[in-house]
A = this chain, B = another copy of it.
Amino acid sequence: MSTTVHAGSTERLLTPGEVAALFRVDPKTVTRWASAGRIGSIRTPGGHRRFRESEVRSMLADLTSEATLPPARP
């Protein structure tokens, strides 16, 4: 089947180990995220998982979103 895999697939896929290194977690944890549906995953014919780099980077963009810097007073 020649599907339209040519257009938007310039997307780089990351392995569980690579994603784990970016988040500073164990590769098994990344697998658990995929099983829980917290992160999109693509399975190889053999059952291994691959993750979209753009999606992973979007999650990492959550920098300093804890507090909304209140008016600093001296």
A residues neighboring B (CB under 8 Å): 5, 8-9, 12-15, 22-25, 29, 33-46, 50, 57, 59-60, 62-70
Q: How far is the CA of A36 from the CA of B45 in the complex (A)?
A: 10
User: Given A36-B67, A40-B64, 19 more contacts at CB 8 Å?
Assistant: A9-B60, A12-B24, A23-B44, A23-B50, A24-B50, A29-B44, A33-B46, A34-B66, A35-B66, A35-B67, A37-B70, A38-B45, A38-B46, A39-B45, A41-B66, A42-B60, A42-B62, A42-B63, A43-B65
Q: Which 7 A-B pairs have the closest CB atoms?
A: A37-B67, A13-B24, A40-B64, A38-B45, A24-B50, A33-B45, A34-B66
